[in-house]
Structure 1
Amino acid sequence: DEYILNGTKTWISNAQFCDLALVFAYTDPGQRPKGMSCFVVESKSPGFTSRPIEEKMGLHASPTGEIILEDCRVPAGALLGNEGEGFKICMSMLENTRLSCAAGGLGLARACLDAAVEYANNRQQFGQSVARFQMIQEQIARMVVEEEAARLLVYRAAVMKDMGVPNNRETSIAKYAAAQAANHAADEAIKILGAYGYSEEYPVARYYRDAKYYQIVEGTSNIQKWIIGQDALGIRKANR
């Protein structure tokens, strides 16, 4: 009639504010992925506790926390789908969250580009704007190319998602490219702004801290490369 859940999961967005949590737990550990099930758990359930993670490098506007389950009893009706379908549910969710994460990285890359262009056009040095310096132009050019390439990859994955076409491969490519573009753009923006880029007076310092997020969440950049590489080599097709 019920399940008893035990375990801890950290780095969860809005963990300390949620009313409901999707909990993935092994109901048959011996079956590995096929032994994982998904539960809808109320945060007021006995044995359910959460606490915030206060000290983060970036993404300060997004609350992050930890959930601890200690003999947390949930009714049988809390099971989402059937036993053993948890991994399948989790992977279907990742297809959506990875795509939205790719879009976020793309937006950050664009914000860095806009900030760098505005500063370069306004900053005067040696009687002219620093936008006239060829090295600045080279940095901006690379930022433009990488941002636009990432944009097309994100849009391709989004169109495939809208069409209901399998897109795990394309989403991994988009997320990897957007995360790389965001981190490179943030780094270049800091360089173009110089000491001002290192200060909180301009937004690029925050962009620099936040950019790393996109190489970590919803599958790290290394995970995306693993998916892409295995697909290219015919070891494991991403769009099954």
Structure 2
Amino acid sequence: MTPVTGHMIAVVGSSPGVGKSTLCRAIARRAAESGATVDHFEEADILSRPSFRPVAEEFADGTGSVRPATLVESTRDYVARSRAAGVDVLVTDALLPFIPSLVAWGHDESVIATVLADLEEAVRPTRVTVVYLRDDPDTALRRAVEREGPDWEDWYVTKLGDSPGTRSVKDLSSAAEHLRREEELTVRLLAGTDWHVLSVDVGRRDAARTEQYVRENLPDL
């Protein structure tokens, strides 16, 4: 891999259990081995990174949501800090473009499309590749429960059911139906951006084959 200054590789998925974190670790490791300066932004980092302190504070203020403008400005600050630090490759796990959170908080498609347009401006001139891992949600959710245990299932269903935009979720079956609709929305919205989108069907690939496919199809990796 030839280091490319300012390339954000945003790994997102159509469901929990599709292997986002595993792929992020592999991409970050490979980029670092090639000599690039890498920042691996793990999913939990949004609660501790300085740039996203406003996001964590808003989320914890009792509303359980964050204003879209706060997401945009925190992302802008994160990218600017990374650029100033000389980071070549930013690998983010379930960060940009925030569609599942925006849906859960009750925003409609037109608002989310506006947020994505604002995010596009916020990250310029950093190049963005969105790696979208896709799998049948019933299969992926079962995999997540097997990995995390039954307590995770209760937590996940309750989290969605308590959010304004996902109150229809009552069990894993309705969660899977919600995720199917969200996937359709995500594909439609990403197609309207100028980001490079690499869609990966993980249902036919294990982690090693997923990584291989991404290496073969991701620019500069």
Query: Which category describes the TM-score, using the shorter chain as reference length?
Result: under 0.3
Bigger RCO (CA 8 Å, 6+ sep) = 2
- TM-score, normalised via structure 1 length: 0.23
- TM-score, normalised via structure 2 length: 0.24
